Amino acid sequence: MLLLLGLMLLTAAADPPGADGPPLRGPGLGFSPPDAASPSAPPPLLLRPQPGAEYAAPGVASARSAAEEPGRGGEEEEEGGEHHHHHGGGYRVVQWEWSYVQTPYIIATWLLVASVAKILFHFSQRFTTVVPESCMLILLGLVLGGIVLIANKKQLYQLEPALFFLFLLPTIVGDAGYFMPARLFFDNLGAILTYAVVGTLWNAFCTGFCLYAAKLLGVIDDRVQADLMDFLLFGALISAVDPVAVLAVFEEVHVNDTLFIIVFGESLVNDAVTVVLYKVYISFVEVGAENVQTADYFKGVASFLIVSIGGTLVGLVFAVILGFITRFTKKVRIIEPLFVFLLVYLAYLTAELFSLSAILSMTFCGIGANKYVEANISQKSRTTVKYTMKTLASIAETIIFIFLGISAVDKSKWAWDTGLVSCTLVFIFVFRAAGVIGQTWVLNRFRLVPLDKLDQVVMSYGGLRGAVAFALVVLLDGEQVKAKDYFVATTIVVIFFTVMFQGLTIKPLVNWLKVPRSTNRKPTINEEIHERAFDHILTAVEDIAGLQGYHHWRDKWEQFDKNYLSKLLLRKSVYRKSELWEAYQKINIRDAISVIDQGGNVLTSARLSLPSMASRASFPEVTNVTNYLRENGSGVCLDLQVIDNVPGAKVEEDTETHHVLAENLYKPRRRYQSHYSRHFMPLGEKERQDREVFQRNMKSRMETFKTTRHKRHKKERSLKKRRGSDTKDDGGDKPRRNVSWQDKDPVVVPVESEEDKAEHSDQEKDEDVGITFVARKVETPKPRPTSVPADVDGYQSPTAAHHSPVGGDSHLPWKGGLGSPPPCVSVEATKIIPVDLQQAWNQSISSLESISSPPPPAEPVHPRVIALSRLGGPRPASYSPSSSQEEAEEEEEEGGAASQEMQPLMSSLRPPGSLPPPPPPPPGSAPGSGRRRNPCVYLKSLVTAPPAGGSELHSRGPTQL
């Protein structure tokens, strides 16, 4: 894609200042490619003699030829600073190779200027909130253009239609299409189509006819040699709302989603109308209005249908191809994003090739493929795609606006007529408003959510014209359309007026009218759940009422998608996940990330400060993150637990301190293979640290969650435990801490994707496999990584679980290959990714469920629990010395016992008072019993007695990841 960008910019800078290349062509047009450059460039226009054709064809060729000339002399050595240019023979140490690098050099300089300009605009926060960026860019363009004009007496740079249509526009449309909120788009499809088709036609015809009328009335000067056809043509190209301008302005305004999608969707979809109208009129202008036959009008209509539907189909076909390809990119993650760019761009080019609506094609390719691609590609690729698209779109937008400004300076190409300009301005504004009001009136009879007056005002006012119109008008043939220069001037004025004046004032207007804004709030889980629930409810009610409404068909489509399309286009591993699950997963990840964002700080700072507080009598036992979260009310905050501050012994504090240090200091645990690979990205140090922070956070959250959920058995456990281990638990010299074995031992608990059964042998090397909650004791003499394989077997079959943790290291697929096993965990297993998080969740929760309910035969958790508790291996001495085997058994009994007691509670209990009174807490003499946390919030069914001392130790052990 970068290459493409480079290519496109080659063309931009085709006429460098001071280049001794071919002389500038007549009207200063850089070039237009000999083949159909744009949908709107009908062949006749392109037949215009191109003096610079050889120059034009591929920008690269010119660069190459330029390269050969100086290169002929001898070896080239480029050295930035000084340059000696020895003519004549001999070896030249340093050469001035301007002509070789000029094109890319200029491109790069342009990009730099544009980017720096953006930086500068955003220096002043207050300024940018008032003035939209697009205005600033146009102004900058005007200034730059002025400078170039003064310096060169000639305008060297122009917004080239070919450059625009082939490179700049697709980057913006691709970004818009790919990230288009599909649901919103289709929910409002009716309105969008109406505005795009009917509205644009209305605007085009009315503007055309009225301008002609104005001409007849003498308002427009006689110098403007144009007849009805010319005006209709002009009306067609000036009437379409421009996606680039709309995006640029509306992105800053943040109107509500529906309003935005209608205006923006319209600007994308009306491309088909514009293209067809433009082409039809061009051909009419060519043959002359009097020769147009009735059949031609019908051809025009047919052509509209073909262009729009054909463009859409091309886009959908490419969407399917794209989805299908990304199904198989598991092994080539590094080029995964490339497929997205290439195919989306190819969708555009292919539509151009057949002179269909390229914007429609690209938009629908993006909309269609997004769902499948996002599900298929890895998290990193997703990020890459997102950022690359945004970067390209942003830079393309910048260039477009700057070039618009620059083009406006060049007086040689336009001719001013006040009548034409003012009439056009008035007409497009009036007809836009009239069209919107009329159509909305009709639409509101059908819409469930009517568009109110405010919406209509914003829609009328948001009818911005932009670079598409400019490129189209520049493409006009001056021979055929006599008034071209007038039209160019008018278009420029219209664009400037709409983008600058309306763009500048729309924000105050929206504020003043109090148009509902979009809230940037992400939906909560409950909202997501109800979102789905409503879809189904509405579908069901429609079905019951016997109506075949929107929901009915949407549901049909979803079933089709689920049964056929998703099967075809999604990887097996993601196919079976429902949307709700995905939403949940996203929320979870988002939440986890926000925990890191906010909590990361707290974690490190607060915890690291602990040593200094060691002398304090009360000592927060667990992490502060949970507290922090609680206070912040973070969405899925799982902290339902209050931390009791209980005085602890000095010994305990020391251990705590020690533990805190051990946990929080990042140690160079292993040398990561630092080899360079083009195909795999090594994990950065930073990333690993982030990961650890993440893991720790998640771990603590999980603990919290579980302890909360399972208070119920804690007390039992504790009783049991007390009984069982009292003898061994001699004295409090080694405090029993809930910093239990898993904190000391390297334990890897991978979590697999259940459905990956088929694929588990070829584990996705990438991060899609398992999340691992790792904790280790750095001081362990010989850190021994113990892992449960991240596959189904380890999870579902008890036997596998039994042997794999300890003995099975060698046969783990990814274990053998690793030269130096990391002390902590293998790289592959520890990446964090939504899937894993999700699964970790599931597992943590399901493992709890298994305890709280009679373990069904298929219950997969117990085995693993056992396995886990076994692989505890070298436990810290502080841990209660019940053997792992015993413990596992105990675990099971307890689970059973607990579940028996759980049952009645689950079903019947309502008021907390009705609970069976909790058994008295164990004797306070038990070591560590004072340092317990108190549960604070319970889900009803999990209501439990106040926890008893020592309980976590046990309850957390097996269930904790």
Partner 1 sequence: MGALQSLHGRPEYLDLAEKTGFSFEQIRVLHERFKQLSHNEETLRRSHFNEIPDLACNPIRAQIIEAFFDRRNYHQNGEGTVEEIGFEEFLVVMSHFRPPSLHMTEEQRENVRREKLRFVFNMHDTDNDGTITLEEYRHVVEELLSRSGALEKETAKSIADAAMLEVASISMGHMEPDEFYEGITFEHFLKLLDGFEIESRMNIRFLNMDTSTLCK
Tally the residues of the chain. Answer: 961
When the beta carbons of 413 and 709 are compared against partner 1, the nearer one is: 709
C-beta separation of 447 from 549 below 8 A: no
Report how many residues bind partner 1 under the rule CB under 8 A: 80
What's the CA gap between 242 and 202, in Å, rounded? Answer: 16
Q: Which stretch binds partner 1 (CB under 8 A): 77-85, 318-326, 361-369, 929-937?
A: 929-937
Determine, following the binding rule CB under 8 A, whether residue 938 of this chain makes contact with partner 1: yes
Phi, psi of 285 (to 5 degrees): -60, -40
CA angle 581, 587, 593 (to 5 degrees): 135
Instruction: Select from 196, 943, 948, 953 the one that contacts partner 1 (CB under 8 A).
Output: 943
For residue 593, CA distances in Å to 141, 547, 635, 702 come to 40, 44, 12, 15
Determine, following the binding rule CB under 8 A, whether residue 553 of this chain makes contact with partner 1: no
Where do we find the tokens 């509405």? 538
What's the CA gap between 905 and 896, in Å, rounded? Answer: 15
C-beta separation of 569 from 821 below 8 A: no
Determine, following the binding rule CB under 8 A, whether residue 907 of this chain makes contact with partner 1: yes
Q: Which stretch binds partner 1 (CB under 8 A): 240-248, 481-489, 535-543, 718-726?
A: 535-543
- Shortest Cβ 651–partner 1 spacing (Å): 27
- Shortest Cβ 724–partner 1 spacing (Å): 28
Q: Indicate the helix (H) or strand (E) that contains 696.
A: helix 685-709
Determine, following the binding rule CB under 8 A, whether residue 564 of this chain makes contact with partner 1: no
SS3 for 3-54, per residue? Answer: HHHHHHHHHHCCCCCCCCCCCCCCCCCCCCCCCCCCCCCCHHHHCCCCCCHH
- Shortest Cβ 911–partner 1 spacing (Å): 8
Identify the three-state secondary structure at position 659: helix
When the beta carbons of 449 and 651 are compared against partner 1, the nearer one is: 449
Q: Which stretch binds partner 1 (CB under 8 A): 493-501, 518-526, 603-611, 819-827?
A: 518-526
What DSSP string describes 359-410? HHHHHHHHHHHHHHHHHHS-HHHHHHHHHHHHHHHHHHHHHHHHHHHHHHH-
- Within residues 596-615, the interface with partner 1 by CB under 8 A covers none
The DSSP output letter for 570 is S
Q: Which stretch binds partner 1 (CB under 8 A): 42-50, 203-211, 390-398, 928-936?
A: 928-936
- Shortest Cβ 846–partner 1 spacing (Å): 5
Residue 693 neighbours by CB under 8 Å, 6+ apart: 596, 600, 603, 604
Determine, following the binding rule CB under 8 A, whether residue 819 of this chain makes contact with partner 1: no
Determine, following the binding rule CB under 8 A, whether residue 849 of this chain makes contact with partner 1: yes
Instruction: Select from 164, 165, 497, 841 the one that contacts partner 1 (CB under 8 A).
Output: 841
Report the candidate in 313, 315, 319 with the shortest Cα–Cα distance to residue 371.
Answer: 319
When the beta carbons of 425 and 845 are compared against partner 1, the nearer one is: 845
Residue 546 neighbours by CB under 8 Å, 6+ apart: none
Determine, following the binding rule CB under 8 A, whether residue 298 of this chain makes contact with partner 1: no
- Within residues 874-903, the interface with partner 1 by CB under 8 A covers none
Determine, following the binding rule CB under 8 A, whether residue 592 of this chain makes contact with partner 1: no
- Within residues 142-201, the interface with partner 1 by CB under 8 A covers none
Q: Which stretch binds partner 1 (CB under 8 A): 378-386, 554-562, 678-686, 883-891?
A: 554-562
Instruction: Select from 383, 559, 605, 673 the one that contacts partner 1 (CB under 8 A).
Output: 559
Determine, following the binding rule CB under 8 A, whether residue 793 of this chain makes contact with partner 1: no
Instruction: Select from 642, 661, 662, 806 the one that contacts partner 1 (CB under 8 A).
Output: 642
Instruction: Select from 645, 664, 780, 842 the one that contacts partner 1 (CB under 8 A).
Output: 842
Report the candidate in 892, 871, 887 with the shortest Cα–Cα distance to residue 805.
Answer: 871
When the beta carbons of 127 and 446 are compared against partner 1, the nearer one is: 446
When the beta carbons of 491 and 539 are compared against partner 1, the nearer one is: 539
Instruction: Select from 48, 85, 532, 658 the one that contacts partner 1 (CB under 8 A).
Output: 532
Instruction: Select from 49, 81, 218, 546 the one that contacts partner 1 (CB under 8 A).
Output: 546
Determine, following the binding rule CB under 8 A, whether residue 99 of this chain makes contact with partner 1: no
- Within residues 725-754, the interface with partner 1 by CB under 8 A covers 754
- Shortest Cβ 509–partner 1 spacing (Å): 23
SS3 for 471-502, per residue? Answer: HHHHHCCCCCCCCHHHHHHHHHHHHHHHHHHH
Beta-bridge mates of residue 245: none
Determine, following the binding rule CB under 8 A, whether residue 541 of this chain makes contact with partner 1: yes
The alpha carbon of residue 158 and the mean position of all alpha carbons in its chain are separated, in whole angstroms, by 33
Determine, following the binding rule CB under 8 A, whether residue 4 of this chain makes contact with partner 1: no
What's the CA gap between 806 and 819, in Å, rounded? Answer: 19
- Within residues 675-714, the interface with partner 1 by CB under 8 A covers 705, 709
- Shortest Cβ 598–partner 1 spacing (Å): 15
Determine, following the binding rule CB under 8 A, whether residue 635 of this chain makes contact with partner 1: yes
What's the CA gap between 33 and 955, in Å, rounded? Answer: 73
Phi, psi of 79 (to 5 degrees): -135, 125
Instruction: Select from 286, 555, 561, 892 the one that contacts partner 1 (CB under 8 A).
Output: 555
Determine, following the binding rule CB under 8 A, whether residue 577 of this chain makes contact with partner 1: yes
- Shortest Cβ 350–partner 1 spacing (Å): 35
Determine, following the binding rule CB under 8 A, whether residue 450 of this chain makes contact with partner 1: yes
